[in-house]
């Protein structure tokens, strides 16, 4: 991929991002302004929240093309990329016989997937690799081909989430039985974790082999663009466990996966912030996206505390435009952070703010 038509000055933005992921941007800030678009307005009008069937991948590619094109004059730090939400969870379970379900989300424009728990207990699962003739694997490769063709020279295709380790066990028997299995059949759990590692590697290798890269990096819905072949990992099951449980059951698998590729990015939900210090020690970790949910303070409001836990690991946080501008005016935004700004501003207004963002020094 030689250019990104939907991002003027893409190479300049990527030069800035390299500094962030090399952990040399402790005094700089970055911003992606999420402004209203006609494409999202139309998606909300056409799609009520609820279950649906596997969507037409051509239609999904056109959705992303339309959405990303609307922001092409915006001079923020976004690198436009489409996300394979249709396969972000359900593909992995579907490849070993799970019943895949799709859900429309009018708030994000996603049509995401999951599978129902497949077994009563883990002893029922047979450790058999999937065949490449599997219908869902063929659908996956076909969608990669369609997205690559539609996006050519205009926008990228983001890496998508891994479902490995206990996330994969969740897909087999659900969360409660997974946690019980750690005590009842720990050897079986470890065998399945190894099986899931190989399955996830096959899926992710296929992604990198069948999608374009830009300037030697990976497009990312979480961190925009990052150098190398970089994966998007998840430690969601350990959000409801102790740090010690993560270190015993999750850390080795994540590190092994990072080592297989060129490192990874991570997201942490608000109920998993106790894991931040442990996760930040992973070799090859490029950045952490901090998600906000109810019952916990927004990450932006406790950002100084979060940065103490992760050291110089780059963070990605959400913030509304009023709070962002207020702290920008006071020069009180912590550096080494990528701010996802929820905004109602026009492109011209965003571009004026971005002039200050690029000059900002803590």
Asked whether the predicted pLDDT for residue 281 surpasses 80, the reply is yes
204: how many CB neighbours lie within 10 A of its CB? 20
Residue range 67-75: average pLDDT? 97
Estimate the crossing angle of helix 186-210 against helix 135-151, to 10 degrees.
40
By DSSP bridging, strand 81-82 and strand 50-52 are unpaired
- Cβ–Cβ < 8 Å for 319, 303: no
3-state secondary structure of 344: coil
pLDDT digits (tens, 9 = 90+) for 182-199: 999 999 999 999 999 999
pLDDT, residue 14, reads 97
Instruction: Quote the distance between the C-alpha of residue 150 and its chain's center.
Output: 21
Helix residue ranges, H only, the chain: 10-21, 38-46, 57-69, 90-94, 135-151, 165-173, 175-184, 186-210, 243-249, 251-260, 276-279, 303-310, 321-329, 347-359
Reference 200, options 225, 234, 239; nearest CA is 234
Residue 2 is predicted with a pLDDT of 81
Pairing of strands 285-290, 315-320: parallel
What is the average per-residue pLDDT within 305-312? 98
240 alpha carbon, distance to own chain's centre: 20
Does the pLDDT at position 1 exceed 80?
A: no
Strands of 264-268's sheet in order across: 29-34, 337-342, 315-320, 285-290, 264-268, 231-234
Question: Looking at residue 290, what is its pLDDT?
Answer: 99
Contact 213, 223 (CB under 8 A): no
Could you tell me which of 107, 111, 67, 72 has the C-alpha nearest to residue 89?
Answer: 111
pLDDT band at 236 (very low <50, low <70, confident <90, very high): very high
Mean pLDDT calculated for residue range 325-346: 97
* Separation of alpha carbons 225 and 314, rounded Å: 13
Q: Nearest CA to 313 among 25, 79, 33, 76?
A: 25
Does the pLDDT value for residue 154 go beyond 90?
yes
Burial label for 192, CB within 10 Å (0-12, 13-18, 19+), is buried
Q: Would you kindly state where each structural domain of the chain is located, as residue ranges?
A: 10-359
* pLDDT band, very low/low/confident/very high, at 291 (cuts 50, 70, 90): very high
Model pTM greater than 0.75? yes
Q: In this structure, are residues 103 and 82 in contact, taking their beta carbons and an 8 Å threshold? A: no
Of 2-6, 62-66, 272-276, 282-286, the range with the lowest mean pLDDT is: 2-6
- What's the CA gap between 134 and 341, in Å, rounded? 41
- Which numeric CATH code is attached to 10-359? 3.20.20.210
pLDDT tens per residue, range 34-61? 999 999 999 999 999 999 999 999 999 9
For the chain, the average pLDDT equals 97
Average pLDDT over residues 83-93: 96
**Res 329 pLDDT > 80:** yes
- Give yes or no for a contact between 204 and 231, defined as CB atoms under 8 angstroms apart: yes
Provide mean pLDDT across the span 330-348: 97
Q: What is the mean pLDDT of residues 148-152?
A: 96
Specify the pLDDT at position 361. 96
Mean pLDDT across 319-330:
98
**Whole-number Å distance between alpha carbons of 89 and 293:** 20
Share of the chain above pLDDT 90, in %: 97
- How many C-beta atoms lie closer than 10 Å to residue 22's C-beta? 11
């Amino acid at each position: 991929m030689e250019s990104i038509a939907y991002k003027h000055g893409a190479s300049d933005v990527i030069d800035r991002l390299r500094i962030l992921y090399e952990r040399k941007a402790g005094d700089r800030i970055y911003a992606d302004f999420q402004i209203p678009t006609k494409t999202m307005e139309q998606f909300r009008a056409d799609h009520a929240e609820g279950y649906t069937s596997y969507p037409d991948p051509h239609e999904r590619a056109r959705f992303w093309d339309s959405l990303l094109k609307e922001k092409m004059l915006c001079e923020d730090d976004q690198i436009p990329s489409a996300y394979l939400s249709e396969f972000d969870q359900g593909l992995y379970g579907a490849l070993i016989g799970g019943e895949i379900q799709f859900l429309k989300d009018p708030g994000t424009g996603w049509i995401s997937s999951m599978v129902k728990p497949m077994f009563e207990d883990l002893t029922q699962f047979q450790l058999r690799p999937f065949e490449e003739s599997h219908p869902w694997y063929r659908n996956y490769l076909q969608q990669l081909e369609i997205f690559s063709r539609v996006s050519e020279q205009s926008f990228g295709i983001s890496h998508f989430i891994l479902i490995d380790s206990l996330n994969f066990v969740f897909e087999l028997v659900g969360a409660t039985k997974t946690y019980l299995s750690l005590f009842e059949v720990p050897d079986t759990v470890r065998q399945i974790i190894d099986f899931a590692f190989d399955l996830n590697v096959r899926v992710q290798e296929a992604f990198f082999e069948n999608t374009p890269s830009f300037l030697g990096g990976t497009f990312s819905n979480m961190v925009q663009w990052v150098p190398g072949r970089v994966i998007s990992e998840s430690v969601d099951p350990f959000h409801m466990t102790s740090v010690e449980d993560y270190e015993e059951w999750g850390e080795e698998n994540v590190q092994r996966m990072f080592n297989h590729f060129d490192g990874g990015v991570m997201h942490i939900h608000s109920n998993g912030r106790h894991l931040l210090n442990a996760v930040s020690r992973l070799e090859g970790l490029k950045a952490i996206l901090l998600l906000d949910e109810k019952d916990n303070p927004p990450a932006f409001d406790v950002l100084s505390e979060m940065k103490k836990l992760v050291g110089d690991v780059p963070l990605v946080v959400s913030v509304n435009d009023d709070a962002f501008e207020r702290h920008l005016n006071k020069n009180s935004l912590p550096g080494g952070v990528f701010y996802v700004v929820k905004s109602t501003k026009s492109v011209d207004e965003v571009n004026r703010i971005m002039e200050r963002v690029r000059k900002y020094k803590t």
